[in-house]
Amino acid sequence: MGRQPCCDKLGVKKGPWTAEEDKKLISFILTNGQCCWRAVPKLAGLRRCGKSCRLRWTNYLRPDLKRGLLSEAEEQLVIDLHARLGNRWSKIAARLPGRTDNEIKNHWNTHIKKKLLKMGIDPVTHEPLQKEAKATETSSHADDCLPESGNHSSQLPEANGTASSENSGSPTENCSGDESHLFDNTVCDNDPLMSCLWGEETSLVDGPWEIPTTGQNFDNTSLPSWDENCSWLLDCEDFGIHDFGLDCFNDFEVNTLNTLEMGNKQ
């Protein structure tokens, strides 16, 4: 019984990716786009599981990724979103362009959690810790009324008040459908970043991430530049973009990369 493994375990490599493997994967995806992940390893000549390829691409190789620590604004946004959505990292990541769920999850566990604890805020419920302790003391039977108590049913302090009284269901329940209603005007009004991001909701959440394969219809202002996002790759890996033998780069990308390489030489 049980499911078949997603890939044949025999002959499938595990562990850190090499520059050579990255090169193959980038080359393949830029040439063919994202297709059936299960087929990618075979077609790209990689001895990896399709799942692993997808993860490597989405978390590390995608050219629209931002690198480096989250800014203050991003961090605050993550906290706000976590208060609403709980550990739904992919949903949270969808609101932070250029960030991955894995990155946010890691940042949450290593930085934000501690920060909140230091501030006396429970990172799970987003309630003040003392209040939280009291609540647990007195609400042992109240839990019976809240099917998902102790889960991600958290509210921001500023979002409590009227909103919470109306919103007696858990966020999880609320999230079952469209989550957009969770973000009341309070948050959007108070936080320009939130407001801005909610305005872009559909494009961020529902729009598939696409590789621009031609210069046409490619608004290069909508994506972070290659300069910002690939310089790390060119700096850190011992191969350059020309090593890919990629014919698929359009003029814009090639020019950008040329500029980038020129810059690196200076």
User: Which residues are at the interface with DNA (CB under 7 A)?
Assistant: 3-4, 6, 13-17, 35-39, 48-52, 54-56, 59-60, 69, 87-91, 101-103, 105-107, 109-111
CB of 67 to DNA, least distance (A): 8
Name which of 93 and 249 has its Cβ closer to DNA.
93
CB of 212 to DNA, least distance (A): 18
What is the residue-wise DSSP string for the chain? --PPPSS-STT---SSPPHHHHHHHHHHHHHH-S--TTTHHHHHT--S-HHHHHHHIIIII-TT---SPPPHHHHHHHHHHHHHH-S-HHHHHHTSTT--HHHHHHHIIIIIHHHHHHTTB-TTT-SBHHHHHHHHHHTTTGGGG-TTTTTT----GGG-HHHHHH--S-HHHHTTS-GGGGS-HHHHHH-HHHHHHHHTHHHHHTSPP----SSTT--TTSS--HHHHHHHHHHHSS--GGGGT-----HHHHHHHHHHHHHHH-
Name which of 236 and 262 has its Cβ closer to DNA.
236
CB of 155 to DNA, least distance (A): 18
Name which of 29 and 241 has its Cβ closer to DNA.
29
84-120: burial string, b at 16+ Cβ within 10 Å, e else: bbbebbebbbbbbbbbbbebbbebbeeebbeebeeee
CB of 175 to DNA, least distance (A): 9
Name which of 69 and 73 has its Cβ closer to DNA.
69
CB of 131 to DNA, least distance (A): 23
Name which of 14 and 265 has its Cβ closer to DNA.
14
| CA separation for the pair 1, 159 (Å, rounded) | 47
CB of 217 to DNA, least distance (A): 22
Name which of 144 and 206 has its Cβ closer to DNA.
206
CB of 17 to DNA, least distance (A): 4
Name which of 90 and 231 has its Cβ closer to DNA.
90
